[in-house]
Amino acid sequence: MVRLDGGRFLMGTDSADAIPGDGETPVREIFVDPFRIDACAVSNADFAAFVDATGYQTDSERLGWSFVFEGRLSRSLRRTAIEDRLPGARWWCKISGADWRHPEGPGSSIARRGDHPVVQVSHNDAVAYCAWAGCRLPTEAEWEFAARGGVEQTAQPWGDELEPDGEHRCNVWQGSFPDRDLGLDGWRGTCPVDAFEPNGFGLYNVCGNVWDWCADWWSPRPAAPGARNPRGPATGTARVTRGGSHLCHVSYCSRYRLSARTHNTPDSAAGHMGFRCAADVALRP
DSSP 68-133: EEGGGS-HHHHHHTSSSEETTEEEEEEEET-BTTBTTSTT---TT-TTSBP-S--HHHHHHHHHHH
- pLDDT band at 75; cut points 50, 70, 90: confident
Q: What's this model's pTM, rounded to 2 decimal places? A: 0.95
Domain that holds residue 114: 2-280
Predicted confidence at residue 83, as pLDDT, reads 61
**Domain assignment present for 10:** yes
Count other Cβ atoms within 10 Å, centred on residue 253. Answer: 18
**Domain assignment present for 285:** no
Report the share of the chain in percent with pLDDT over 90: 88
Decide the pairing of beta strands 85-86 and 65-69: unpaired
Query: 31 in helix, strand or coil?
Result: strand
- Write out the H or E segment, with its range, that includes residue 10: strand 7-11
Of 208, 191, 212, 218, nearest to 273 by C-alpha is 212
CATH of the domain at 146: 3.90.1580.10
Euclidean distance between the first and final Cα of the chain, in Å? 23
**Domain assignment present for 154:** yes
Predicted confidence at residue 222, as pLDDT, reads 87
- pLDDT band at 85; cut points 50, 70, 90: confident
Could you give the CA distance from residue 220 to residue 218 in angstroms, rounded to a whole number? 7
**Domain assignment present for 194:** yes
Of 216, 41, 53, 38, nearest to 121 by C-alpha is 41
**Domain assignment present for 248:** yes
**Domain assignment present for 123:** yes
Packing angle of the helix pair 44-54, 123-133 (nearest 10 deg): 70
Residue 142 scores a pLDDT above 80: yes
**What is the average per-residue pLDDT within 192-204?**
98
Count other Cβ atoms within 10 Å, centred on residue 129. Answer: 24
Answer whether 132's CB lies under 8 Å from 205's CB: no
**Domain assignment present for 122:** yes
Predicted confidence at residue 285, as pLDDT, reads 42
**Domain assignment present for 234:** yes
**What is the average per-residue pLDDT within 140-146?**
98
The number of folded domains in the chain is: 1
